[in-house]
C-alpha cells in the first residue's frame, strides 16, 4: 500500500502557499494506520526502548501505537496547563512567537531509553524542544521517529546535526 495516498493534502491551509499534510485520513484507514505504525516501529525493534515519548497531539496517536508494538511505556509531552501534576518544561520558538512543552516530573527517569515520536517534522522546533527536555531529565534518547518529513524545512537535518538518529516514513517535497 502506498501510504502517501492515505494522507490528504489541503492547499493553502492554514495560510496561502502552505500544503497541509493531514494525517488524520491515514489514521482513519485501519490498514494504512497499522502498516504505518509497524513500519515506524521496525527500526527500533531491537533497541530495548523503555518509553515512547509522543508530542501533542498527533504524536500521541502514533506514540501509543509504537509503545504497544515496542513493548514500551508511553509519555506525553503536552502544551501548558494540560498535565495535572508537577511538570518540567521547555520553551521554544515558533515563527509567530513562543510555545512550551511540559512533561510530568516523574514521567522519565535518568538513563531510561526513550524514543521521541511525532506525526510530522517541519522546521524541527518542537522536536528540538522535546529532545532538550528529555536530555535535561537524563533520558537516553535512542532516536526520533516521524510519519512525515517536510525536508525543505530542514527539521530532520537539525536533529541529525545534534547527533540524533532520525527515521521518517514518508517525505513530501514542498510545504
Q: Which residues are catalytic?
A: 58, 95
Q: What are phi and psi of 163, to 5 degrees?
A: 70, 30
What is the maximum alpha-carbon separation in the chain? 44
Partners of residue 145 on adjacent β-strands: 117, 167
Distance between terminal CA atoms of the chain? 23
Q: Give me 24's grid cell.
A: 488524520
Judged on CB neighbours under 10 Å (0-12, 13-18, 19+), 98 is exposed
Beta strands (DSSP E) in 31-112 are 51-55, 73-77, 87-94, 97-104
If we measure between CA atoms, which residue out of 73, 71, 75, 129 comes closest to residue 101?
129
Amino acid at each position: 500500500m502506498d501510504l502517501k495516498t492515505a494522507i490528504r493534502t489541503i492547499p493553502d491551509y492554514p495560510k496561502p502557499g502552505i500544503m497541509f499534510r493531514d494525517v488524520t485520513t491515514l489514521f482513519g484507514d485501519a490498514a494504512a494506520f497499522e502498516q504505518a505504525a509497524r513500519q515506524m516501529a521496525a527500526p527500533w525493534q531491537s533497541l530495548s526502548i523503555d518509553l515512547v515519548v509522543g508530542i501533542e497531539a498527533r504524536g500521541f496517536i502514533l506514540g501509543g501505537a509504537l509503545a504497544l508494538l515496542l513493548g514500551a511505556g508511553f509519555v506525553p509531552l503536552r502544551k501548558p496547563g494540560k498535565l495535572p501534576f508537577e511538570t518540567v518544561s521547555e520553551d521554544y520558538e515558533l515563527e509567530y512567537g513562543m510555545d512550551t512543552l511540559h512533561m510530568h516530573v516523574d514521567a522519565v527517569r535518568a538513563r531510561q531509553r526513550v524514543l521521541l515520536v511525532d506525526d510530522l517534522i517541519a522546521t524541527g522546533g518542537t522536536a528540538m524542544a522535546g529532545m532538550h527536555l528529555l536530555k535535561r531529565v537524563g533520558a537516553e534518547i535512542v532516536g526520533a521517529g516521524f510519519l512525515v518529513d517536510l525536508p525543505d524545512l530542514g527539521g530532520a537535518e537539525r536533529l541529525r546535526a545534534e547527533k540524533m538518529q532520525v527515521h521518517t516514513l514518508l517525505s513530501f517535497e514542498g510545504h
